[in-house]
Each structure stands twice: as C-alpha cells, then as structure tokens.
C-alpha cells in the first residue's frame, strides 16, 4: 500500500513537472524562438521543426500546432519542444499546400506566457529526402577530424560516408549528378590524394587528376546532365589572414583554368578560351540542357600582387557540344559584376533552366569568408538579377544548391554566430518568389548547434542515400594506386 | 615472526614504497609532462562527449584515462593518480599466481607502464586498459571452473574488448586452461574474438590495424604503443614463468628474499626509468607552462640559473624579459635564435606555436594569436580539443568582438570541472563594452589591437610590430620587441628612428 502511494505521488510529481499553460499571461507579440521558424515555408516531407525560446531564461517551452481541419500537435519540454516524428509527418501531409498555426508558450520565473500564434506554410513541393555535406572546423590551414556525412531530411538521422579517421588526409568536393548519387565525385587531399569517381552506380575508382598540361589537381566538380562529363577547375590557391577585419581569412587563386573530363574516354578536354593566363576561370557548371558551361572569370592580378580586393569575378558562359566534347568559340558575360566592383561565385542553375543562383561579394571567389556575401537570383529568361532578400541575412550566405525539382535551395549561412556555417533552406516558386529561409531542423537545435564546433560545408541535395562504402573507399585511398587522367587537346590549342 | 608473517607486512610496504616513488618522480621530476598531457584534452561532463568516446572499442578505459588526465592540471594530483594506478596494477599482478621468491617480478608490469608514461604522448587510457583487464582476470580467477565460467568467459571477451580495447587479449591469455584439460572451448573463444574484430573492421570508422593494436592508447594514431603491449604481455609471461617454476618459487624461504627481490627489480627498473626519462623535454615543457600561466618572474629566475637554447625556451625567455621591460637592454645576455627567437614562424604542430601565440596575445596581435592557437589545436594528432586553447579562443573572440563565437567556447568550458568558474566569470563580459574596456587584461589588449587591416601569414614582419607601437606608444611590449627586432637584424637606421620617435613622444 505504502509503495503504491509512493508511485502515485511520483506520478503526480511528474505531471506537475510538465505544467499547464491554461493560466498563462497572454502576450500580443510573436515569440522569439531559436531557430527562427516564424512564417517559414516548409516542404511536406521535412523533419519536425523543433525549437527553443531564443533567450535562455525560459524554464519550459510549450507549442501547439493546429490546422484548419481541427488537427492538433502538442509538445512541451524544458529546453526545446520535440514533436513526435510520425504525428508531425501526418499533420504535414494533411496540410500540403495549406498553412499551420503554431502557438508558443514559455514558462519564466513569473509564470507562463502565451505568445501570438505564427504560421508555417506547407509547400506542396517536396524536398529531396537527403542532404550530403562535409563537417569541418572553420579553420585556417590545418585540419582536425572531418568527414562527409549524409542526413535524412525527413528525420534527424545523420551518418558518415567517410571520415579522415580512416586515412591520413582531408576529404572534400563531394558532388553528385543532379543529386543522384549513382554519379559521384569525391576529392581526397594529403599524402593519399585522389579523386574518387563513381559512374552510373559502378564501382569507385581512384584517379590522379593532375596532368602535365593542367595547373594541378581538378577541383570544384560539376556533372554534365548526361553523366558523361564532369566540369572541373584547376586552381593555384593561396591563403592570407586579416589582422583587423571581421573576415578572418582570404582564400584566393593566383591562377586557375577550366577543363571538362570525359568519363567514358578518360580524357580531359581543354580549350584555350577557358585556359587563359590573364584570366582566372573557376566554378564551372553545366547548363541544364548540357549545351553550355557557366563559370566565373576575373582578370588576373599582376604576379606577386596581393591587392586581393581588386579581383572581381564576372559570370560567364561558353558553349559546349556534348556530342563531340568541344567547347564553343566565344564567351558571353551574363553578369558583369566587376563593373560594379563586385564579384560572383558559385553559380548554380536550377535544373528546370529558369534561374541561376549565385553568390555576390565585394571581391574574390571564396565568399564563405566574406560577411557581406549574399545570394542573388538570375532569371535566365530575362537576364535580370535580384538579391534574394527574403533568404539573405546580415551575415554570410555562400555555397548553395538546388533540389532535383528546382523548387528548394539549400545554402550555407553564417548568420547564427558569424563563424560556424549552417545549412538553410528556402522555397523558390516558378515565378522566382523566394520564401524566408529556415535552418536545418534538429531534435534540440540549441544544444545541437551549440555543441557542434563544426561547419556544414558544401551542402548538396541527394535524391536517395549514397550507399557509399566508406571502408572500401578508405582501402582504395590507402592503397595509393591511381588511374591517371588522359588529355585531349582541342585542335586549335 | 614467521617468514609468511614478515611477507604479509613487507609486501604492502613495498607497494607503498613503489607508489611513493612514482608520486615523487612525477611530482618532482616530471610535473610538466603532466601539464602537457592536460593541455591536449578537453574533458566535458556531457552526455554527447562521453558517448563519442565509449562508442569505440577501448572507450571505457579511454574515458577513465581522460577523466583522470583533467586532474593533471595540478601535477601532484596527477602524480598521485599515476602512483595509485601503477600500484593497483602491481597488486592485481600479485594476486594472479604465487610469486614467492620471485616477488619482485610482480612489479615489472607496473614499471614497464611507468616507462610507457615517460612518453608525453602515451595516454592514461592505456594504463586503465591494463588495470581493468587485470581486474577482470582477478575476478574470473575467483570463479569456480565449469560451464558457468566458460559461458561468462564467452560473454566477457566482447564486453571487455569494448571496454578496454585489444589489450584485453591479456585476459584471454590469463584464462588459458591447464594442459591436459579440454581446450576446444578456449580456442573457440579465440576464434570468436578474431571474427568479432574482422566484422568490426567493416563497421567502425577506424583502420582495421587500430582495432587490433589499440585505437587510443597513444596520441599518435600511427604509433604502436610497444611498451604498453610489452607491459601487458609481461604479466602473462611472468605468471607463466612463476607457474612453471611453482615448486621452487613457492618453497619456504627466508623473509629477506621478499624485500631483496623487490630491491633488485626496483633498482634495475628504476635506473631504466631514470635513464629513459626525457628531462630535456621536461625543461621545454616547463617554459611553456610558465608562459601559459604568465609566471614572468619565475621565468626570469629560471633563465638566470640556466639559459635556454631551444626555440620554445628562447621565445618564452624573451617574452618574460619584454614583460619586465628588460628585453632590449639584456637581449644579448642570453642565447638568441635570431629573429626566430622573438616571434618564430608558425609551425604546423600542436606544441611549438603555443608559446609564440602567448607572445602574440600579450603584444595585442589578437587575430594572429587566434589563428596560431586555432591551428595548434587543429594539429592535435588524436583530434582531441584543448581546454587551454578553448580558453584562449574565448578570450581572443571576446577581445575581437565576436561575442557569439566566444559564447560557444565559454559554454563548452562551463561543462568542464576546472575551467567552469572562469567561464562563468567571463560570460557576463560578452557584449558589455564598458566592462571589457575596464578589464585589466582585455581592455588594453583591445585598445592595442591593429587599427588598419592588412594581410599576414606565417611570418611576422617588423611592419607588424611598428604598426602596433606607432599607433599605440603605450604598448611597451611592442616597443621592447621592436627594439629587439632591430638589434637582432642590425637595422641601425630604424633603431635610431625608433629611439628618436620615443624620445619625442614620451
């Protein structure tokens, strides 16, 4: 009897801990929550948007999500709300193309406060189910533990493809063909340097991409829609550091060229037009029809000059014939940023061919270290660019990528604390209307992002899990045997 | 008193003597090796941190090692911990067989572990791995023979492997059945262990050889901790020897044999320990320690007694001289490594940049210090983080006004035991410009910072020092360094110009 009494008392105590918000003070303002999910547009298949109060004085937080059909989802927690995964997805699927209302209450020392409800818009456009990124400390030149990871966007599951605990070196430049991991490229730096390629779901092959006719190793890969070609740049990259500037690091090229790799023939295709000594060419990407190559180009600095703020990249385009693997004969400038003393980096066309998103900064090409860097959207049908104000912040927005259906954009932003890069998502409709961006959901976002001293680097959508065998890959990397890239020169070269 | 009675009394005394010897060695002769160990880890009282460690084979031993290493901030506490651990290893070794006349040999594994710990990159997790294995072996030796024991052995092998890593093979060896008994089950366990490792090599993000040799017994991932393995396997070899000579070993003998065998081993191994000790490294570490704790007067007293010649020693010596306004006037009273002795180029390792970073920080070159400390931390070979570096990065970010980044470091330090109070005191400064301006350290360092941005790399130029001093003539440290720089490079013209400028402004 005594034991039963204790159990009952314990249960009552536990219920008391949960607390009710019935007698809360009604606030007329919107809640300040972390991450800021107020009024965002979300894909129907996204993981629950759990959040905390932005300030750390709240003792508990309570949220009720309701829809116009009378459905209701409730969560309460000490640090963060944590919606049930299944219930969340059910609610979202019931409200595809509709909106939800979120009522947040927070308990402070003086009791509960209930805030004005805010909406969430559930887009009928789904998002690619997986995201691939590199996790690395936002450092200077030396690296510690890092790896390439994939994350299920419908849940919170994250697991590594490969980590540098498996070999000595650094891993970067993961790339997929329109998010399809059957075509995959991965770059390894260090004593076991290699480019790992997987074509049409085949086995991984390690390549030595350095040739005697190119500047160095191939970097910044972008797959041709056919899967036959990969556009690369070769960059002689250096770093310098700021002594008294909010930006810590300046990464710059002292030379760079473009080339296209023919996967089937194992040949690098070169063209004198994109291999000029007086021009830095970088960040090549194929147009969705595969008949053009977009890239960034800047007039080269005189040798030895460190006037880095004089390097301004324009957005350019050159034709490419996938049937013959030949480049066009002229270069068009699509965005003449240098005339405005600005610089374009990371051009990424939407796969439906409507838009091209790029990063604009004051100078240079490594915009992740530029706090002023913002995203811009180029309408390829009109040739007009506009800043993506709805998604941009006061801090850095940089690398970005489109979802396979060209309706979602993932991008890196440093708006959270000015240093650690986080992935954000925004919706872009057929007219180019951009929604407010939201941060990659986590079960307890504040704890998660505060404890993780790593940047999310090069976020890439993938349409399914990569099924990448990290152990096999590490054996290939450690084996040190490499297949060489061949070179085919254009006749006019 | 009988021989057995004497042994009962003498044996704990020998263990105690051994423990005290270890304590005195690490407390008096090797304290800075312990400080060195402490500065290359960040032990967090945090679930996620603990999980990251224990999810790998050897994780429990590793966790216990890291837990103990945080106390190395205080060398005597660290020495006491090591003394206790090595004594425990000896006591457990003693329990395995009848040592009798060979009593002294029961100290050999502990002495070998002591030798292992002379390497500043040998990790305490290795000692815990041996200790836990011996503890498990001792527990098993008390179980009666039979099916229950065999089943428990079958279960214990994978559990122990996960707890302590491959050193658990010692447990397996110590369970070897006596000859003429059924051994099929024993070899079955061996096959099971091998199969488990092969399977694990396909599942865990570590190279297969590290699953066999140990993931985190040593800071260098590619180094095989030979001494640790020798120490672990010596237990098996010595017990086998004692068993083989059981009749002679355990025959009654004079009570003096016990202390005599102890003395023989202690003197022999003690000499080996002393000769293997790296006192040169200890001296270098002492300079780094003194710089870290800003013990400028102690550094001056130290360099009076013995002038350092190595790069770290000279860097710290010059920093202390400059802090006391003595650098330029007494520059050539001490050994100099040219301008590399003032502010050496930043190397890509975890040790040498830290004293240089201290000089950058004291001079007000906060961005340079920040980069140097960050890189040093990234260069820690076992991918651990450093409480010392976190603290400094919190300070540099605070001074540079990156408050949210500073908050991140401070929040992490709040999860430590020894840095929590400092983090709690520093957090209220974030965003409080007035409090920072009035702060005795951060106030003037912020003021002395560079006004104009320029690019820097690994090499400090005189222009960087000139900019510091000419914009803030009250930065006496920059003045000392600039004078020393001109003296070392023989730049008379600039030296004269500096003196003229100083006489006009002061």
Contact A244 B449 (CB under 8 A): yes
- A493 pLDDT band, cuts 50/70/90, is very low
Is A361's pLDDT higher than 90? yes
A454 to chain B nearest CA, in Å? 12
- Measuring CA to CA, which residue among B392, B360, B404 is closest to residue A246? B404
Is B2's pLDDT higher than 70? no
Is A387's pLDDT higher than 60? yes
Confidence at residue B201, expressed as pLDDT on a 0 to 100 scale:
78
- A9 pLDDT band, cuts 50/70/90, is very low
Mutate to test the interface with A, among B197, B198, B205, B377 (most CBs of A within 10 A): B205
- Measuring CA to CA, which residue among B307, B306, B316 is closest to residue B285? B316
Structure tokens at B364: 């007000």
Contact B378 A470 (CB under 8 A): no
**How high does pLDDT run on average in chain B?**
91
Structure tokens at B94: 């003693």
Is A425's pLDDT higher than 70? yes
For residue range A432-486, list pLDDT tens digits in order.
999 999 999 999 999 999 999 999 999 999 999 999 999 999 999 998 899 999 8
Confidence at residue B178, expressed as pLDDT on a 0 to 100 scale:
61
What is the ipTM metric for this complex?
A: 0.92
For residue range A211-232, list pLDDT tens digits in order.
988 888 999 999 999 999 999 9
- B376 pLDDT band, cuts 50/70/90, is very high
Confidence at residue B26, expressed as pLDDT on a 0 to 100 scale:
97
For residue range B59-79, list pLDDT tens digits in order.
999 999 999 999 999 999 999
Which A residues in the span 397-436 are in contact with B, Cβ-Cβ below 8 Å? 416-420
Query: Which residue in A243, A418, A453 is closest to B368 by CB distance?
Result: A243
- Measuring CA to CA, which residue among A456, A455, A450, A454 is closest to residue A79? A450
Confidence at residue A5, expressed as pLDDT on a 0 to 100 scale:
53
Is A18's pLDDT higher than 70? no
Taking CA–CA distances from A239, the nearest residue in chain B reads B457
Secondary structure element (H or E) that encloses residue B34, with its range:
helix B31-39
Confidence at residue B190, expressed as pLDDT on a 0 to 100 scale:
76
Q: Of B37-51, B94-108, B284-298, which range is least confident? A: B94-108
- A306 pLDDT band, cuts 50/70/90, is confident
E-strand ranges in A59-117 read: 60-66, 72-77, 99-108, 111-114
In terms of DSSP bridges, do strands A41-43 and A279-286 run parallel, antiparallel, or are they unpaired?
unpaired
**How much is the average pLDDT of A397-405?**
97
Mutate to test the interface with B, among A142, A156, A452 (most CBs of B within 10 A): A142
Which A residues in the span 173-192 are in contact with B, Cβ-Cβ below 8 Å? none
**Cα gap A136→B379, rounded to integer Å:** 13
Which A residues in the span 452-481 are in contact with B, Cβ-Cβ below 8 Å? 453, 470-471, 474, 478
- A160 pLDDT band, cuts 50/70/90, is very high
Confidence at residue A3, expressed as pLDDT on a 0 to 100 scale:
53
Q: Is some CB atom of chain A closer than 8 A to the CB atom of B377? A: yes
- B245 pLDDT band, cuts 50/70/90, is confident
- A4 pLDDT band, cuts 50/70/90, is low
- Measuring CA to CA, which residue among A409, A462, A419, A401 is closest to residue A136? A419
- The CA angle B346-B351-B356, to the nearest 5 degrees, is 45
First to last CA, chain B: 83
CB A326 within 8 Å of CB A269: yes
- B144 pLDDT band, cuts 50/70/90, is confident
R_g of chain B, CA atoms, integer Å: 28
Domains A23-123 and A130-479 share a fold: no
- Give the sign of the dihedral formed by CA B263, CA B269, CA B271, CA B273: negative
Spell out a b/e string for B303-319, using b for 16 or more CB atoms within 10 Å of the CB, else e.
beeeebebbbbbbbbbb
Contact A147 B374 (CB under 8 A): no
Confidence at residue A322, expressed as pLDDT on a 0 to 100 scale:
96
Q: Of A139-148, B111-120, B137-146, which range is least confident? A: B137-146
Say which DSSP state B103 is in.
G
Is A46's pLDDT higher than 50? yes
Contact A244 B383 (CB under 8 A): no
Top CATH class, A23-123:
mainly beta
Confidence at residue B459, expressed as pLDDT on a 0 to 100 scale:
87
**How much is the average pLDDT of A224-244?**
94
B254 to chain A nearest CA, in Å? 56
Confidence at residue B385, expressed as pLDDT on a 0 to 100 scale:
96
For residue range A76-94, list pLDDT tens digits in order.
999 999 999 999 999 999 9
How many A-B residue pairs are in contact by the CB < 8 A criterion? Answer: 100
CB atoms within 10 A of CB B442: 19
CB A51 within 8 Å of CB A76: no
CATH code reported for the domain at A130-479: 2.120.10.30
For residue range B176-227, list pLDDT tens digits in order.
766 556 577 777 777 877 888 788 878 888 888 888 899 999 999 889 999 9
Q: Is some CB atom of chain A closer than 8 A to the CB atom of B434? A: no
Chain centroid to Cα B493, Å, comes to: 46
Confidence at residue A177, expressed as pLDDT on a 0 to 100 scale:
96
For residue range B380-401, list pLDDT tens digits in order.
999 999 999 999 999 999 999 9
Domain ranges of chain A: 23-123, 130-479
Confidence at residue A11, expressed as pLDDT on a 0 to 100 scale:
46
Confidence at residue B384, expressed as pLDDT on a 0 to 100 scale:
96
**How much is the average pLDDT of A301-328?**
93
- A380 pLDDT band, cuts 50/70/90, is very high
* Residue A457, helix vs strand vs coil: strand
Is A16's pLDDT higher than 50? no
**How much is the average pLDDT of B134-158?**
86
**Cα gap B434→A120, rounded to integer Å:** 41
**Cα gap A257→A318, rounded to integer Å:** 13
For residue range B325-348, list pLDDT tens digits in order.
999 999 999 999 888 889 999 888
List beta partners, residue A344: A360
CB atoms within 10 A of CB B504: 8
**How much is the average pLDDT of A356-367?**
96
Q: Of A153-162, A264-273, B142-151, which range is least confident? A: B142-151
**How much is the average pLDDT of A356-361?**
98
Task: Give alpha helix (H) positions in A19-172.
Answer: 85-94
Q: Which residue has the higher pLDDT, A99 or B97?
A: A99
B476 to chain A nearest CA, in Å? 20
Residues 6+ apart with CB under 8 A from B466: B482
Confidence at residue A489, expressed as pLDDT on a 0 to 100 scale:
62
Q: Which residues of B touch A246 (CB under 8 A)?
A: 402
**How much is the average pLDDT of A304-318?**
93
Confidence at residue B182, expressed as pLDDT on a 0 to 100 scale:
59
**How much is the average pLDDT of B438-443?**
96
Taking CA–CA distances from A419, the nearest residue in chain B reads B405
Q: Of A17-31, B24-38, B477-491, which range is least confident? A: A17-31
**Cα gap A125→A428, rounded to integer Å:** 10
Confidence at residue B7, expressed as pLDDT on a 0 to 100 scale:
65
């Amino acid at each position: 009897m005594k034991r039963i009494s204790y159990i009952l008392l314990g249960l009552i105590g536990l219920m008391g801990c949960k607390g009710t918000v019935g007698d809360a003070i009604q606030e007329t303002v919107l809640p300040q929550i972390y991450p800021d999910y107020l009024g965002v547009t979300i894909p129907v298949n996204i993981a629950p948007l759990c959040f905390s109060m932005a300030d750390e004085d709240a003792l508990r937080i309570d949220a009720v999500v309701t829809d116009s059909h009378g459905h209701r989802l409730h969560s309460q927690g000490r640090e963060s709300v944590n919606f049930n995964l299944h219930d969340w997805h059910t609610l979202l699927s019931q409200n595809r193309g509709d909106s939800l209302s979120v009522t947040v209450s927070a308990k402070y020392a003086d009791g509960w406060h209930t805030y004005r409800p805010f909406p969430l818009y559930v887009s009928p456009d789904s998002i690619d189910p997986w995201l691939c990124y590199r996790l690395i400390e936002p450092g200077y030149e030396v690296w510690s533990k890092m790896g390439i990871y994939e994350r299920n966007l419908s849940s919170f599951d994250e697991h590594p493809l490969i980590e540098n605990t498996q070999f000595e070196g650094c891993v970067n430049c993961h790339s997929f063909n329109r998010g399809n991991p059957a075509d995959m490229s991965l770059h390894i730096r260090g004593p076991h340097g290699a480019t790992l390629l997987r074509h049409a779901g085949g086995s991984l092959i390690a390549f030595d991409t350095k040739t005697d006719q190119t500047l160095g190793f191939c970097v910044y890969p972008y797959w041709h829609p056919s899967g036959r070609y990969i556009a690369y740049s070769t960059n002689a990259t250096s770093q310098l550091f700021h002594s008294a500037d909010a930006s810590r690091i300046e990464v710059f090229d002292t030379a760079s060229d473009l080339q296209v790799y023919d996967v089937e023939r194992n040949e690098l295709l070169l063209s004198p037009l994109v291999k000029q000594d007086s021009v830095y060419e970088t960040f090549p990407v194929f147009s969705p029809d595969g008949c053009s190559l977009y890239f960034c180009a800047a007039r080269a600095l005189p040798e030895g000059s460190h006037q880095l703020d004089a390097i301004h990249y324009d957005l350019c385009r050159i034709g490419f014939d996938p049937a013959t693997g030949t480049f066009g004969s002229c270069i068009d400038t699509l965005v003449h940023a240098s005339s405005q003393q600005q610089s374009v980096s990371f051009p990424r066309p939407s796969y439906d061919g409507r838009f091209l998103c790029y990063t604009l900064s004051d100078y240079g090409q490594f915009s992740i270290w530029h706090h002023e860097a913002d995203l811009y959207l180029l309408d390829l049908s009109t040739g007009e660019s506009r800043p993506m104000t709805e998604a941009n912040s006061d801090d850095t927005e940089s690398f970005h990528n489109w979802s396979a259906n060209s309706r979602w954009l993932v991008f890196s932003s440093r708006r959270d604390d000015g240093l650690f890069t986080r992935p954000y998502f925004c919706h872009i409709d057929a007219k180019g209307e951009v929604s407010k961006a939201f941060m990659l959901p986590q079960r307890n976002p504040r704890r998660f992002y505060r404890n993780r001293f790593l940047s999310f680097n090069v976020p890439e959508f993938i349409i399914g899990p990569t099924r990448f065998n990290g152990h096999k890959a590490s054996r290939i990397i450690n084996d040190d045997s490499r297949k060489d890239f061949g070179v085919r020169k254009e006749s006019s070269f | 008193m009988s021989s057995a009675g004497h042994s009962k009394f003498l044996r704990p005394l020998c263990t105690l003597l051994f423990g005290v010897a270890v304590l005195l060695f690490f407390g008096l002769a090797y304290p800075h090796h312990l400080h060195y160990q402490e500065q290359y880890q960040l032990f967090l009282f945090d679930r996620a941190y603990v999980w990251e460690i224990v999810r790998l084979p050897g994780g429990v031993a590793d966790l216990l090692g890291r837990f103990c290493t945080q106390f190395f901030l205080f060398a005597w506490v660290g020495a006491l911990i090591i003394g206790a651990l090595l004594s425990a290893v000896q006591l457990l070794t003693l329990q395995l067989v009848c040592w009798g006349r060979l009593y002294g040999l029961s100290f050999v594994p502990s002495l070998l572990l002591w030798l292992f710990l002379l390497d500043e990159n040998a990790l305490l997790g290795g000692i815990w791995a041996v200790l836990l294995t011996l503890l498990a072996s001792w527990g098993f030796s008390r179980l009666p023979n039979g099916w229950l024991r065999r089943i428990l052995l079958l279960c214990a092998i994978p559990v122990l492997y996960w707890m302590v890593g491959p050193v658990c093979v010692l447990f397996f060896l110590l369970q070897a059945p006596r000859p003429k008994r059924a051994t099929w089950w024993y070899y079955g366990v061996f096959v099971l262990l091998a199969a488990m490792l092969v399977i694990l090599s396909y599942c865990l993000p570590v190279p297969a050889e590290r699953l066999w040799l140990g993931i985190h017994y040593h800071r260098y991932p590619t180094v095989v901790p030979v001494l640790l393995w020798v120490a672990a396997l010596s237990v098996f070899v010595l017990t086998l020897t004692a068993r083989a000579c059981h009749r002679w070993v355990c025959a009654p003998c004079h009570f003096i044999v016990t202390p005599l065998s102890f003395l023989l081993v202690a003197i022999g191994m003690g000499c080996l320990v002393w000769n293997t000790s790296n006192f040169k490294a200890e001296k270098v570490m002492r300079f780094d320690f003194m710089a870290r704790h800003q013990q400028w007067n102690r550094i001056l007293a130290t360099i009076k007694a013995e002038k350092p010649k190595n790069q770290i020693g000279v860097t710290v010596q010059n920093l202390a001289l400059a802090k006391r306004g003595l650098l330029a006037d007494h520059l050539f009273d001490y050994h100099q490594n040219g301008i590399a002795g003032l502010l050496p180029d930043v190397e890509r390792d975890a040790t040498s940049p830290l004293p240089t970073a201290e000089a950058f920080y004291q001079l007000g070159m906060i961005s340079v210090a920040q980069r140097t400390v960050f890189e040093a931390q990234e260069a820690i070979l076992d991918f651990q983080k450093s409480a010392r570096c976190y603290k400094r990065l919190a300070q540099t970010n605070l001074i540079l006004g990156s408050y949210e980044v500073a908050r991140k470091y401070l929040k992490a330090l709040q999860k430590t035991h020894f840095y929590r109070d400092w983090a709690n005191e520093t957090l209220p400064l974030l965003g409080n410009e007035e409090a920072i301006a009035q702060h005795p350290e951060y106030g003037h360092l912020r003021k002395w910072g560079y006004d104009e941005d320029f690019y820097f790399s690994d090499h400090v130029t005189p222009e960087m020092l000139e900019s510091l001093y000419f914009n803030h003539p009250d930065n006496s440290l920059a003045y000392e360094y600039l004078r020393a720089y001109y003296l070392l490079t023989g730049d008379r013209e600039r030296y004269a110009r500096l003196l003229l400028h100083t006489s006009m402004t002061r």
